[in-house]
Structures are given as C-alpha cells and as structure tokens.
Structure 1
Amino acid sequence: MKKLKIIFAGTANFSEKHLSALIKYNYNIIAVITQPDRPFGRGQKIIFSPVKQLAIKNNLPVLQPLNLNNEKFYKIILNFQADIMIVVAYGKIIPQIILSIFKKGCINVHASLLPRWRGPTPIQSAILFGDKKTGISVIKMNDKVDSGDIITSNECEIKITDTTKKLSNKLSKLGIQTLLDALYKIDNNIDSSKKQNEQYATFSKKILKKEALLNSNKNAKFLERLIRAFNPWPICYFVLNNIHIKVWQASIIKNGPCKNTTGRIISINKKGIQIETKQDILNIEKIQFPGKNILNIQQIITSNKNNFKIGKILF
C-alpha cells in the first residue's frame, strides 16, 4: 500500500508528541511547518519550538513562514507534492489557498469534542467552565476555525484535580490514537465523517496574563478552576507587598455567601490558607514566591507566617 506523503504543521509540546508518534510508526513525513523562532524568558534567548527540535533530530525539512498567504510559500508547499497535511496546535490559521493543495485534504487534531470549544484554548476552557468531559476531534479543515466535518473523535473524562498540564498529557495520548484511526480511514477511503452541529458551537479565547490575577469577588469554585486551568501557564497569582505570588494549588471549603470582606484570610492551618470569596472559601495549598521553589502549606506556616496573618486582605 502506497504511503501517504504527509506535511505536518505544529508548534507546541502537544504537537511534538503527535509528530513523534508518526515518526515512530514510520509515517512518511516529508516536511514540517512550525512557527518562527521567538525569544523566550528574561534573557530573551531564541528557543526552537518542540516540533522544530524533533524535526531537526530526524532530519526533516523545516518551514517557518511569517506569512502563509503568499505565492512563494504556496509554491514551496506545492513542490513537495504531498498527499495530506496534518495540523496539530500550530497556532496560525491555514489559508484556503494552502488547504486546497492536498488531494487527501488537510486534517486537524483538536483537543475538544467539537463543536464545543473551538478556538485556541479548548483544554483551559473545558476546565474553567467545569466540563465533566472533553476529548479529541480529528476534522477535515476548511476556511473557518475548527468547523470542518468530524472524521473521528474520542472522549476523555475531566477529573476534579486535572490541571491543563495533566489534561494535556491525557489528551495527547488520546490524540495520537484518534489521529492514527483517522489516517487509517483516509488511507483506505473510509468516509464516516459527520458535520458539526452549529447550534452547539462554543468558542474559547486567547488567554491574557492579566487574567491570572485572582479576584475574590468571584466565587471559590470559579477561582479553583481558574487555578487549574492556568497551570502551567500563565499561573494564577495575587500581589502581596508589591510581590507577585503564584498559586499552584487550591481547594474549596463550602461556607455559603461571604458575610465579611472578600479576599480576607479567615484561617491558617495545616490544610491551607483560607480566603473568603463571594461564595465559599478558597483554600490555598501551594504557592511560589519569585525565584523560589513551590511551597506547600507546612512550609508556608514555618517560613512565611509573618506574611500571612488572619484578617489580612490578599486579593
């Protein structure tokens, strides 16, 4: 059986795991598209994307266009004579002129049960809005965001302790399985695809760093989900003595509506720092000071008791 000639487009760690699986199973990857190199961190050092690093390691041609919608890039892709393009968390919209090149089309591995949570942050949104399940959808790409026909999909339970990092790891494994199933169907001309029901479409949005600042006027359930959704980036925080302190883990203590001032420390014990919110208590369990290790509550009580006193307003 003739192997599909594949161009793979992706950037993030989630993408890299899918590309790694395709290489492991000897799929015919003839080129890789990834986002341009960007400076990272305080030192603004240029860092290659995880996908680019893997491609170089496996001697695959790497393309990093600034603009996908131009004639030069179109001709480069055309000359590869690929059968199909696979897109996994690439981070840019693929223009129709590129989508139309491939005789087997372009497919996208998306980390949600479409049409729920189209857009750039489906995993974070599923956690933040309290979804009980999510999953992977492999779709035929068209000129609209995440709206193509679903080739195949698989569900995944969201646990109450799942962070974006944990759920991403689960979904990457499920994504590989779902992608391989989709490629088998495509390679064998099995079309069981179905259209998305636009009536149920929801949209995730790009996350901004400023949204990670905790606000006690929200209820504890929302704040706890926000902390999990923003782990490992951008990490929720509060400001104490002009210092940004990151919150890595919290839980909820049911207490009903707030009777006093929101954001106030009402108790500190071995279980955590308890903060009154609009509804119920947010129990902070792990925090991190700038440049320091993550601290659990026992370490907080021992080394930072002067910073956290009952009655103090944290956020």
Structure 2
Amino acid sequence: MPSIIFLGTPEFGRTVLEGLIDSNYDIKAVVTQPDKKIGRKQVLHQSPVKELALANHLKVYQPAKLSGSEELAELLQIQPDFIVTAAYGQFLPSKFLQSAKIAPVNVHGSLLPKYRGGAPIQYSLLNGDKETGISIMEMVKKMDAGDIFAQASLSIKDDDTSGSLFEKLSVLGRDLLLETLPKFLDGTVTRTKQDEAGVVFSPNISKEQEQIKTSMTAQQAHNLVRGLNPDPGAYILVDGKRMKVWQTKVSDEKTDLAPGSLVTNKKRFAIAFADGTVLDLLEVQPTGKKRMPIRDYVNGQGSKFKSGEKIIDD
C-alpha cells in the first residue's frame, strides 16, 4: 500500500487516521500537536490522534512548531507517497509538502472556496447555512488555496451543533479520502481550480465572538450558540456575570420589549433580541455551576428576575 505521513489533532483527525489504518495504508509517521494541560487541575492530555497512533504502534512527532524543527528534518527523509492532513492546526513548510512523491492532500471541512481557514464548520453554523461538506484538496503554501480533487456535500439540520457537524464531516471526510487516494494511483483523479471570486474566509473564533449581544436577532444568537457548542461555548452577561448558553430555540412570538429584556420566566426563560425577536434558553451554565436544563435555572437563580426587566448586559 502507498506510504503516508499523517498530520491531525482532534477527533476529526482521529476518524480519518483510523480509516487509513483500517485500509492498510503504510503510515510512516503521525504528526500531532503537543500534549495540552486541560481543566482546573491542568491535567496533561494527549490528542485523540496521538492516542490512536500509539495504540497502533505508530511513530508520533509533536513539534510545537514544525517549521525549522528537528522533527521536520526527520520527516523530510521519509519522502512518503502522500502527506495527508486533517485538522492538524499548523501551517506546513513548502519543502515538507514537496517531499510527498505523489501529493500532499488535505481533508477540509467545507465546500471550498467557501470557508478557507481554521473554523469552517463553526462559520457554516454562525452564518445559518443549510449545507456544508468536505473538500479533498492539494496543500499549497497559500492557506486552503490548492486545487480540489473531490468534494461531497452534507445538509445541515436545525439541531446541528459544531460538535455534531464535526462528527458527521469526519466520517464523510474519511470516506471521501479513501475513495480519492486510489484515483491518484490509477490516473483517474481530477483537479479543479478554486474560483477566487467565491473565496470566503473562516478565521479562528476570537474571544469577542463568544459573547451573545442584544444587537443580534434571536436567530443570530441561536446560530452563535450552535456554532460554539461544544467549544468554546457562547455566553451572555447576566448581572455582570457570564452564563454559558448551550441550547436555545427561536420563538415564533414577537415582543415590543427592549433587546436584552426578560420576556417571561414562567415555565420557560425567554429573552428579547433585536427586531422584536424572542429566544428561549433551554440549557445554561451559570458561573461556577454545572450545565443545567432551563427549568432548574428558573427554579433557582432565574426566579428572581421579573418580566420586562432588562437582564442582559453588553
């Protein structure tokens, strides 16, 4: 089987790597991000890709920065048939990409040229898209700008979050990659140049983007909650304190209340947003608390607010 250097970090990458392993590709090396300290206790965690690689006795490299590293010097000596990346999280040096005998290939979570960049799945939800997909593309020096070898689309459901889309797209990406790689070998692979006029970027989510603002409509706030679930999570400021919002529903009703006002806390917790729209909070996490269904919040802290009162700060 053809030889591969694989680069990836999260569950998305793990699913793709698992497909390559199960298909008996010759995985010469696996490159993933360094172990990270997570949580209040700062426990050191391995990436999902590293865990799978070690379980399959594959050689793992974890440079903090691949460019100029000792690890890169070793990897350049391998000269695999393919270099395959799936949510790795670093730019790759041109000389490394050029060391692939056949092609450097990326499994990208969007229908390019829409959503080049590090957060394509999140932006498809933030923007309320009805469709996303996978692009199998050639890696070049310019970010996500290489020729497209294959694409497959996926409908976005109303209850999808970035977590559910990551899971669905990882499977779609795995299957599309395994369908595409043999085409390089039998000469049937095709190339399609990206239309630069259609380029849309999806930069990594900033801290400022995590806050739900009252200038948003209920639909925009709902999309933000979906797009940032499960990581990093969207939040509102209630009485000056952050409250994470994990699940919401756009109400059919309209209100004359000012954006940020409590519409009702009777059996539900509904807040007014821009253009008279109303958003029901369904699952929240007050500061210092665990995630909870809204009924638990209403029976506790939420009961102190009065209908018509402005409770969200910007």
Q: What TM-score results when the alignment is normalised by the length of structure 1?
A: 0.93
1:159 aligned to 157, 160, 163, which one?
157
Shift of 1:211: 2.0
3-state DSSP of counterpart to 1:85: strand
Higher deviation after alignment, 92-101 or 261-270: 261-270
Is contact 1:119-1:145 (8 Å) kept?
A: yes
For 1:210, the aligned partner's letter is E
The answer for the alignment partner of 1:300 in structure 2 is: 297
Instruction: Indicate the percent of aligned positions where both proteins have the same amino acid.
Output: 36
The answer for the alignment partner of 1:20 in structure 2 is: 18
Shift of 1:246: 1.2
Aligned equivalents of 1:88, 1:56: Cα separation in 2: 18
The answer for the alignment partner of 1:107 in structure 2 is: 105
The answer for the alignment partner of 2:306 in structure 1 is: 309
Q: How many residues align?
A: 311
Shift of 1:295: 2.0
The answer for the alignment partner of 1:285 in structure 2 is: 282
3-state DSSP of counterpart to 2:74: helix
Shift of 1:191: 2.4
Query: 1:32-111 residue pairs with structure 2 within 5 A?
Result: 32-70=30-68, 72-111=70-109
Shift of 1:71: 6.9
Is contact 2:265-2:303 (8 Å) kept?
A: no
1:275 aligned to 271, 278, 290, which one?
271
Aligned equivalents of 1:225, 1:169: Cα separation in 2: 18
Aligned equivalents of 2:79, 2:203: Cα separation in 1: 34
Is contact 1:69-1:97 (8 Å) kept?
A: no
Shift of 1:166: 1.0
For 1:263, the aligned partner's letter is G
Aligned equivalents of 2:173, 2:220: Cα separation in 1: 28
The answer for the alignment partner of 2:188 in structure 1 is: 190
3-state DSSP of counterpart to 1:18: helix
Is contact 1:152-1:181 (8 Å) kept?
A: no
Aligned equivalents of 1:305, 1:165: Cα separation in 2: 28
Higher deviation after alignment, 32-41 or 55-64: 32-41
Shift of 1:302: 2.6
3-state DSSP of counterpart to 1:117: strand
Is contact 1:74-1:97 (8 Å) kept?
A: no
RMSD of equivalent CA atoms: 1.7
Aligned equivalents of 2:4, 2:77: Cα separation in 1: 13
For 1:199, the aligned partner's letter is A
CA 1:18–1:71 in structure 2 vs 1: closer, same or farther (change >3 Å)? closer
Is contact 1:34-1:49 (8 Å) kept?
A: yes
Aligned equivalents of 1:71, 1:130: Cα separation in 2: 40
1:132 aligned to 107, 130, 133, which one?
130
Aligned equivalents of 1:307, 1:205: Cα separation in 2: 39
* Consecutive unaligned residues in structure 1, runs of 5 or more: none
Aligned equivalents of 2:14, 2:266: Cα separation in 1: 42
Shift of 1:274: 1.2
* Consecutive unaligned residues in structure 2, runs of 5 or more: none
1:260 aligns with 2:257: yes
For 2:124, the aligned partner's letter is A
For 2:11, the aligned partner's letter is N
Is contact 2:247-2:281 (8 Å) kept?
A: yes
3-state DSSP of counterpart to 1:134: strand
Aligned equivalents of 1:148, 1:307: Cα separation in 2: 55
Shift of 1:151: 0.6
For 2:40, the aligned partner's letter is R
Q: What TM-score results when the alignment is normalised by the length of structure 2?
A: 0.93
Shift of 1:305: 4.1
Is contact 2:63-2:69 (8 Å) kept?
A: no
Aligned equivalents of 2:96, 2:127: Cα separation in 1: 34
Aligned equivalents of 2:79, 2:59: Cα separation in 1: 14
The answer for the alignment partner of 1:117 in structure 2 is: 115
Aligned equivalents of 1:221, 1:176: Cα separation in 2: 32
